[in-house]
Amino acid sequence: QSALTQPASVSGSPGQSITISCTGTSSDIGGYNYVSWYQQHPGKAPKLMIYDVSYRPSGVSNRFSGSKSGNTASLTISGLQAEDEADYYCSSFSSSGTGVFGTGTKVTVL
Amino acid sequence: QLQLQESGPGLVKPSETLSLTCTVSGASISTTNYHWGWIRQPPGKGLAWIGSIYYSGSTYYNPSLKSRVTISVDTSKNQFSLKLSSVTAADTAVYYCARLDRNTAMVSADYWGRGTLVTVSS
């Protein structure tokens, strides 16, 4: 059960859009529509931002959106704001019967 | 408002067993739609699923930890617990407890504890 692959870092200027990719296999992302995304600020617990590939929990800004194509899921943040600077993790259900996290991406707002 | 709180020793000796408890307040742990899980994060590193439990006692464990992990539930106390045996320095991490939605194959954790750092050292 290997971790899903994410870019180590992504950056953008305020107001821009950025996309974070999360690549897995047919045994996880490609095989199920159970992909979640989490935001984690330093020293804090993760916060659920997206579930079931593209659904936002109540209270999460509509600037955050998710999608999936084949074995790769993506999180897009539009209208980037300073408060979006954080680490982001994807997670998928896997054929092993449990979840698997991505390697994590540090988002920097320039 | 649902709250989760981890508790347990912050220091464990190598080869011993790490034991943590998560106390749930604001909702019953005996709810049909949720599992209750443990996730950990080594200092400066990424997140990793440990496992989860349903109030009935059914469990799911990360295959890489399965031989060392036991998760149990005490519905009378509204708590669930983690035991990780034969620990090494590699088990040093912040341990989080969380509520997991069964409708999303327990991949979406919508409520988290604040986390507790457990250091494995002699």
- Could you report the per-residue pLDDT of A10-40, keeping only the tens digit for each? 999 999 999 999 999 999 999 999 999 999 9
Q: Among B48, B60, B115, whose Cβ lies nearest the Cβ of A97? A: B60
* Contacts A48 to B, Cβ<8 Å: 108-110
pLDDT of residue B122: 94
State the amino acid at position A60 in one-letter form.
V
Rg (C-alpha) for chain B, rounded Å, is: 13
pLDDT at B107 over 90: no
Q: Among A52, A96, A100, whose Cβ lies nearest the Cβ of B104? A: A52
